[in-house]
Amino acid sequence: MTDDTAPIIVELVPLAAPVPKASAPLGEMQYRSDSWTPQEVRTLRQLFNDDTPLPEISEALGRGLQGVRDKVCTLGLRRHSTRPWSELEDHELIQTYGQEPAATIAARLGRSCGAVYTRAAFLGLSEEAAPPWTPWEDAQLRAAFAADIPTAQVALIIGRPHAGVYSRAGKLGIKHASTPKGWTNAEIERAIELVQAGHTYTQIGTILGTEGFAARTKSSLQALMQRTGQGKGWGRVWMPEEDELLIKAYRDNASLTPLRNRLGRSVFSIRWRAEYLNLRGTHARSKGFRLGPDWSEADEAWLRRDYGKIPTSELARQMGRTRAAIFTRANILGLVHEGRQRWTPEHLAALRIAHEHGISLTDLAAALGREVGALHKYAGKQGLVFGRRPRRPQPPTLADILNLSEAAKGEGEG
């Protein structure tokens, strides 16, 4: 082709060697028996969107609870991410927003505090301004702060929010008697607001630092909340349905771990609520979950009679218990093994004299009639280190060691 418009084929890179072929067929990938099938994933999505508790999802799928949680995280599923607000929920939010804490409303509606705030902003709701403080309220506030009454109790007496109490105290220039050093009323007010919003102590410390306050530690915030009466139960409000489940668990002597996972509560929250409801367990084992049999009066009498008189291993075999159980019970009863030699004033004096005069630990053990290992351990507790010392041709007796001190006194006097 001689036309100028004709394409010109140019080889930019020389052709490489042909791609090598597999010498053998590729092996199949090993099938994992615990892999998730498409049907299981669809069932998980459906149950999760229906707000089914994770333990029930785990039981329906026949999988472990931790495996279900891991798959939920992998799929990026979130609770209440698509559930729309109903007219009834909007009506209750309009009636109660500004009158009750957002955490209480969120717990009653089964939503998060963030969802409540977002919906309230969408509906154009705003909290009404608090009425002005009266002289009577100011007088109660001054007297309560001076008398070291917890501020949570002061808020209930006056009928004001907890954070509002500290806000008014800051304007009046008064401080609570138990206010920690370095804390300002504005900082305490902000910390209480963050606590009521549902933030953890660690998050609150970080938020305070970003807002210009001092960065507080978790322990300091815990101490502050305890002093202000906000320490226990500051998180999500307990609903009556949750109380009923907790009461039923205690009544049926059931494990609290599944209930804790189902309610999304911590161990300390469960314990605090059980203490608040005055719940007590009625397990069959009154001594707890100890594997060994309980100690009866006859067993303790047997132990008092034979402990230290026969070998402990033999006594444990006769009583059907372990050596550790024998030692533990004997320690509780205050029993002393007869084979254990007590330290007398003479033995203590001999220990110190032998250390001062270079007597070896082996010669001292022979003079005291004790084991070298036990003597070495006891001497170390007394701060006496013998180290390597030569043994004497004629091992000294206890009287010989005690006489060394008298001989040293005589030489000093001469």
Q: How far apart are CA 168 and CA 160, in angstroms?
A: 10
**What six digits make up the tokens of 168?**
């008014």
**357 vs 275, 343, 369, 391, 401, CA distance in Å?**
63, 20, 19, 12, 9
CB contact set of 412 (below 8 Å; sequence gap of 6+): none
| Greatest extent of the chain over all pairs of C-alpha atoms, in Å | 135
The answer to whether residue 315 scores a pLDDT higher than 60 is: yes
Confidence class for position 184, pLDDT limits 50, 70, 90: confident
Q: What is the average pLDDT value for the chain, to the nearest integer?
A: 76
Higher local confidence (pLDDT), 103 or 89: 89
Q: How far apart are CA 220 and CA 180, in angstroms?
A: 9
Confidence class for position 144, pLDDT limits 50, 70, 90: confident
* Contact by Cβ (8 Å): 168, 133: yes
**What six digits make up the tokens of 152?**
């949570």
To which H or E segment does residue 274 belong? helix 267-276
For the chain, report the end-to-end CA distance as a whole number of angstroms: 134
Higher local confidence (pLDDT), 303 or 151: 303
CB contact set of 49 (below 8 Å; sequence gap of 6+): 77, 82
pLDDT at position 330, please? 85
Residue extents of the structural domains in the chain: 38-75, 87-122, 135-227, 240-276, 297-333, 345-409
Confidence class for position 178, pLDDT limits 50, 70, 90: low
Candidates 290, 317, 296; CA nearest to 304 is 296
Q: How far apart are CA 309 and CA 46, in angstroms?
A: 70
Q: Give the number of other Cβ atoms within 10 Å of residue 124's Cβ.
A: 7
To which H or E segment does residue 45 belong? helix 38-49
Candidates 167, 194, 166, 190; CA nearest to 179 is 166
Q: Could you tell me what percent of the chain has a pLDDT over 70?
A: 77
Q: How far apart are CA 238 and CA 263, in angstroms?
A: 10
Q: How far apart are CA 82 and CA 49, in angstroms?
A: 8
Q: How far apart are CA 118 and CA 93, in angstroms?
A: 11
Backbone angles phi, psi at 247, to 5 degrees: -65, -40
Q: Give the number of other Cβ atoms within 10 Å of residue 30's Cβ.
A: 5
The reported pTM is: 0.26
pLDDT digits (tens, 9 = 90+) for 324-360: 888 888 888 877 765 566 778 888 888 888 888 888 8
Q: How far apart are CA 68 and CA 144, in angstroms?
A: 51
